[in-house]
Structure 1
Amino acid sequence: MTNFCSKMFGKFASYPFPQPLQKWINQGYVKIFGIDLGEFKPAQDYPTLNHLFTRELQKERFVDMQEDVWVSPTDSLVMARGKVEHNLAIQIKGMSYGVSEFLGEVVEDGYCYLNLYLSPKDYHRYHAPCDMEVVEVRYFGGELLPVNQKSLFKNHNLFIRNERVVVVAKDQRGRKFFYVAVGALNVGQMLLHFEPRLQTNARANECITYAYQEPVKIKKGREMGMFKMGSTVVLIASGVNFELEEGRSVKFGERIGSFV
């Protein structure tokens, strides 16, 4: 049912209403969610609600380019962080899930994870946290449950149940890490600029893998894709110390950790 609702909302958000009505819709959304458009175009300049959701930065962000530093890929809230132990990670305090099922492969204990929640008011594009080489993309069809705090406490194994896109990559030191975009209610689509074959919110149980003979190289801070509504990005990496505390808000480009 949540997938159907998300598709219907996606159609509404993609429809260009007459300009006066569209202006009213956009401004109402900005007001309801308290969106700061200081770095973006005015609300009335977006021809659809989806264009407002996926708005592009108009002012260049500072990105910490120190070689050993990882930066936030998103404007978001830190919901959880920690280390994988016995194949378990935390979606939110007291609620664990199986990492191997989430990623589609087994990882060793000691990998660190960081959960970044994008609310409806946030900038919805996601970027590279470090210099990276993408070797594979895995799409897992699933539900589209909300990923806000209330839903994370309510729904066991939410990250496994929800639709997700797992980007398998290597950092500049050659260590494997995982960059996971998790779908959510009203996320009509998740896009990756370098993988046009990806079609999300399609079939609930579909699993597709895209492998690359030549890795896709992406520089730190470069835009990788976007959510068409709020959602979550999960980073799971080895040899990285994620420094942010739970409950902390962070902006794309700010330091979140460093190599160890």
Structure 2
Amino acid sequence: MSPMTALTWALPHRLLSSLARRLAYSRTPWLKQRLIDTVVRRFGVDLSEAAEPDPAAYLSFNAFFTRALRPGARTADPDPRALLIPADGHISQCGAIDDGRIFQAKGRGFTAAALLGDDAAAEPFRHGRFATVYLSPRDYHRVHMPWTGTLRETMHVPGRLFSVGTDAVASVPGLFARNERLVCHFDTDFGPMACVMVGALLVSGVETVWSGVEIPRYADAIVRKDWRGKGVVLERFAEMARFNYGSTVIVLLPPGVAELDPTLTAEAPVRLGQKLATRTSA
């Protein structure tokens, strides 16, 4: 464990993230531009892919960070059987869910029940498949649908806000089931699908296309929202949600419906719209 990761155990996670949020939404010209220019330079952000390529045109750092892509910058895999990678980033891990357990790194893992905050909701995924995608500060920060689904329920699960960088993932037990997160349950033509938006240190916001800002407020207990019968249907490749800073999205699939693409391995770079898995069921 690095000294920085060790330090984060003692840091006031929510306070730091709240302060970072204030900076991210500031419209003070010199401050927002300093933040934008620093991230572009340090992380090599490719603004030629953005709908607005001029870094000075954004009203705040958050507006820059949640920027839209220009039309055609990403396309969905043409195979109609392909489930899609939901975001730009890197594969943290992917593979089989082993009797309800999800692999994190270096022998560490967590249960689907802990991640979802609900034993019953986790049961359909007990022997399913998962993919964990890490979004770095340089990446496009909107998350899209792997497959067409109807929103059934969301659960805002309270937690810490550890970093989700490589060292923290390798060092903090059950990291993704510890951090604040928004669990989105969808019904699809193959059964349930869960997409989990995991917060991280200095990540103080998750927004969805169906209800706007979900985090913050930070939760002290699980907050459920029932969307059944509300007609929230999102098509494959449609935008689902966005982060205000780099973080992680985890997709859970039930068993027997799709096989993960064999080219996906830990730390492999991925782009929104490429093949995550191929449908094997009718």
TM-score by length of 1: 0.93
Letter in 2 for 1:129: P
1:144-183 aligned at under 5 Å gives the runs 144-171=161-188, 173-183=189-199
Aligned CA distance change for structure 1 residues 145 and 176 (closer, same or farther; 3 Å): same
Q: Deviations over 1:48-70 (max 9, x none)?
A: 11111111112322112432111
Taking the aligned partners of 1:200 and 1:246, their CA distance within structure 2 comes to 28
Q: Bigger shift: 51-60 or 112-121?
A: 51-60
Point out where structure 1 has 5 or more consecutive residues left out of the alignment.
Answer: none
Q: Note the C-alpha offset of 1:21.
A: 4.9
Partner of 1:7: 18
Point out where structure 2 has 5 or more consecutive residues left out of the alignment.
Answer: 1-11
Q: Is the 8 A contact 2:196 2:249 kept in 1?
A: yes
Taking the aligned partners of 1:126 and 1:36, their CA distance within structure 2 comes to 18
Taking the aligned partners of 2:31 and 2:245, their CA distance within structure 1 comes to 20
Q: Note the C-alpha offset of 1:149.
A: 0.8
Q: Note the C-alpha offset of 1:164.
A: 0.7
Q: Note the C-alpha offset of 1:206.
A: 2.2
Partner of 2:247: 231
Letter in 1 for 2:49: E
Equivalent residue for 2:54, pick from 29, 38, 42: 42
Q: Is the 8 A contact 1:163 1:201 kept in 2?
A: no
What is the percent sequence identity of the aligned residues?
A: 25
Taking the aligned partners of 1:69 and 1:199, their CA distance within structure 2 comes to 29
Equivalent residue for 2:270, pick from 243, 250, 254: 250
Q: Note the C-alpha offset of 1:96.
A: 0.6
- Root-mean-square deviation (CA, aligned residues, Å) is 1.6
Aligned CA distance change for structure 1 residues 145 and 66 (closer, same or farther; 3 Å): same
Taking the aligned partners of 2:31 and 2:222, their CA distance within structure 1 comes to 39
Q: Bigger shift: 176-185 or 100-109?
A: 100-109
Taking the aligned partners of 2:56 and 2:39, their CA distance within structure 1 comes to 11
Equivalent residue for 2:40, pick from 30, 44, 59: 30
Q: How many residues align?
A: 257
- Secondary structure, counterpart of 1:229 in structure 2: coil
Structure 1 or 2: more helix by fraction: 2
Partner of 1:194: 210
Q: Note the C-alpha offset of 1:157.
A: 1.2
Aligned CA distance change for structure 1 residues 137 and 42 (closer, same or farther; 3 Å): same
1:184-223 aligned at under 5 Å gives the runs 184-196=200-212, 199-214=214-229, 215-223=231-239
Equivalent residue for 1:62, pick from 75, 78, 81: 75
Q: Note the C-alpha offset of 1:137.
A: 0.8
- Secondary structure, counterpart of 1:199 in structure 2: strand
Q: Does 1:241 align with 2:259?
A: yes
Q: Does 1:85 align with 2:98?
A: yes
- Secondary structure, counterpart of 2:237 in structure 1: coil
